[in-house]
Chains A and B, each alone.
Chain A
């Protein structure tokens, strides 16, 4: 935590080229980066491919593209997500399908294709145990799929409720509660009540929610806080009662606790909360920003302050920012400029961070 007090810098470690079009999204393999396993992440693009990147620590630390997943999706690959064990990768495409890939001795094989959405699939997410998969898309629906033996996926629920294009789905980090955010400006919370999935809460403008498209959301490590980002140029922090949530004693509702306004100049496409509490945002103004909780503000409820702003982090819009698993404060960013950058957030030698 001393890092924040002394100020910090964002150091560019490497720029990864290879995609032939904008890079929409990336995902770190959660089972890598610890106990000597090299870090791995996947990136997906408007070039219809997915690339798998691996870190080679020695002799000189570099990133290598280990595999290109192509000839399966026929349109843009919008989003990708690893199963918690890191063995399967799911990819969501504008071609209306979601593909499941298995790593077989370094080769990635498409082992399943999930069909059902009417048109563009925008996002995919695994629950914490890796038994459920959620997808969402332009057809305004959210689908929940249950994993069966032999890489079979059965659709267990089609959730209607959003009135527009659904941009992102994300499972809660510890419970089987699903979150979706949409072009209709709302975030919806979905829970399983006796095998019947339903919307248990809608966070919209009347609850201090967003006034334009909500593009992404992310949870803190303990899962009692959530950050959302929007086309309305704000980040919003939401909170729930952690004790009630885990007691099984009814649904613990989420409430708005703070809006970070005035920091972003254009649409915020991506937000990610690190395990140690640093929120990173990637926006259409080509900048990456970092925010941390402000301990001084506890009297009036938590507040958040800008820790660092990296201008011109990319040449074009930043679509995705993701913290790596593992020890180091590594962040990967993906952009319309077609490249992925690997950054390290380091203590600043000069004192003040920004």
Chain B
């Protein structure tokens, strides 16, 4: 376990105003695929709590709306997050939280790639590789301690 904070004094930013989602038309077929957009994906992940601070990923600018790419036609989402410091050992746990939240929130047809922003992390390639190896993610999610940690971070995101 980590006893010292990785980033003791993070910069905290203001939260973005939450926009209302346009209401779906009431005659719509409930089985019709409703396109998913950038804002919807952002809303799913913005309130995830940082593993070591009482702030959300949005407040720490780990996640921004612009860092989310969505291609609904191709059922594809890519989330690019920016760790607060270059040597952040929490990067994989943050990435795991993002993956788990989207796994639970998006339709199963979606393919999700999670990566750290290019140049934002000292071990960028290895962090990205680990986050996108679904076998290792599956094994991690069978580890009760890790699941507890992820669930704690995700709790505020279920508004």
Which chain A residues have a beta carbon within 8 Å of chain B's beta carbons?
Answer: 22, 46, 75-76, 78, 94, 119-120, 122, 138, 165, 167, 183, 212-213, 231, 266, 284-285, 315-317, 336-337
A213, A284, A337: which contacts B129 (Cβ < 8 A)? A213
Q: Inside 8 A of A22's CB, which chain B residues have their CB?
A: 138
Cβ of B29 < 8 Å from any Cβ of A? no
Q: Inside 8 A of A167's CB, which chain B residues have their CB?
A: 135
A94 in contact with B142 (CB, 8 Å):
yes
Q: How far is the CA of A316 from the CA of B132 in the complex (A)?
A: 15
A-B contact pairs, 12 of them (CB 8 A): A75-B142, A76-B142, A78-B135, A122-B135, A138-B139, A165-B136, A183-B129, A183-B136, A213-B133, A231-B129, A231-B132, A231-B133
Chain B residues within 8 Å of chain A by Cβ, number = 12
A212 in contact with B109 (CB, 8 Å):
no
Which chain B residues have a beta carbon within 8 Å of chain A's beta carbons?
Answer: 108-109, 111, 129, 132-136, 138-139, 142
B139 in contact with A212 (CB, 8 Å):
no
- Closest-by-CB residue of B relative to A122 is B135
- Closest-by-CB residue of A relative to B134 is A317
Q: How far is the CA of A75 from the CA of B129 in the complex (A)?
A: 23
Q: How far is the CA of A190 from the CA of B139 in the complex (A)?
A: 27
B108 in contact with A316 (CB, 8 Å):
yes
- Closest-by-CB residue of A relative to B126 is A164
B133 in contact with A183 (CB, 8 Å):
yes
- Closest-by-CB residue of B relative to A21 is B138
- Helix, strand, loop or mixed for chain A's interface? loop
Given A212-B129, A213-B129, A317-B134, check contact A337 B139 (CB 8 Å): no
Q: How far is the CA of A78 from the CA of B139 in the complex (A)?
A: 10
Given A213-B129, A317-B134, check contact A94 B109 (CB 8 Å): no
Q: How far is the CA of A76 from the CA of B143 in the complex (A)?
A: 12
* Smallest CB separation, A21 vs chain B (Å): 9
Q: How far is the CA of A242 from the CA of B18 in the complex (A)?
A: 66
A76 in contact with B133 (CB, 8 Å):
no
B109 in contact with A316 (CB, 8 Å):
yes
Q: Inside 8 A of A284's CB, which chain B residues have their CB?
A: 111, 134
B138 in contact with A76 (CB, 8 Å):
yes
Q: Inside 8 A of B139's CB, which chain A residues have their CB?
A: 76, 94, 119-120, 138
* Smallest CB separation, B56 vs chain A (Å): 30
A315 in contact with B136 (CB, 8 Å):
no
A315 in contact with B138 (CB, 8 Å):
no
* Smallest CB separation, A256 vs chain B (Å): 23
Q: Name, among B132, B135, B138, the residue most crowded by chain A CB atoms within 10 Å (CB to CB).
A: B135
Task: Known pairs A213-B133, A337-B108; list 17 more (Cβ under 8 Å).
Answer: A75-B142, A76-B138, A76-B139, A76-B142, A94-B138, A120-B139, A122-B135, A183-B136, A212-B129, A213-B129, A231-B133, A284-B134, A285-B111, A315-B108, A315-B109, A336-B108, A336-B134
Q: Name, among B108, B134, B139, the residue most crowded by chain A CB atoms within 10 Å (CB to CB).
A: B139
Q: Inside 8 A of A183's CB, which chain B residues have their CB?
A: 129, 133, 136
User: Which 6 A-B pairs have CB atoms at the shortest separation, nearest pair first?
Assistant: A120-B139, A75-B142, A94-B139, A316-B108, A94-B142, A315-B109
Q: How far is the CA of A213 from the CA of B129 in the complex (A)?
A: 9
* Smallest CB separation, B127 vs chain A (Å): 14
Given A183-B133, A212-B129, A213-B129, check contact A266 B138 (CB 8 Å): no
Q: How far is the CA of A213 from the CA of B130 in the complex (A)?
A: 10
Q: Inside 8 A of B136's CB, which chain A residues have their CB?
A: 138, 165, 183
Q: How far is the CA of A46 from the CA of B136 in the complex (A)?
A: 13
- Closest-by-CB residue of A relative to B75 is A286
Given A76-B142, A212-B129, A213-B129, check contact A266 B111 (CB 8 Å): yes
Q: Inside 8 A of A120's CB, which chain B residues have their CB?
A: 139
Q: How far is the CA of A31 from the CA of B96 in the complex (A)?
A: 42
A46 in contact with B129 (CB, 8 Å):
no
Q: Inside 8 A of A165's CB, which chain B residues have their CB?
A: 136
Q: How far is the CA of A189 from the CA of B57 in the complex (A)?
A: 45
* Smallest CB separation, A284 vs chain B (Å): 7
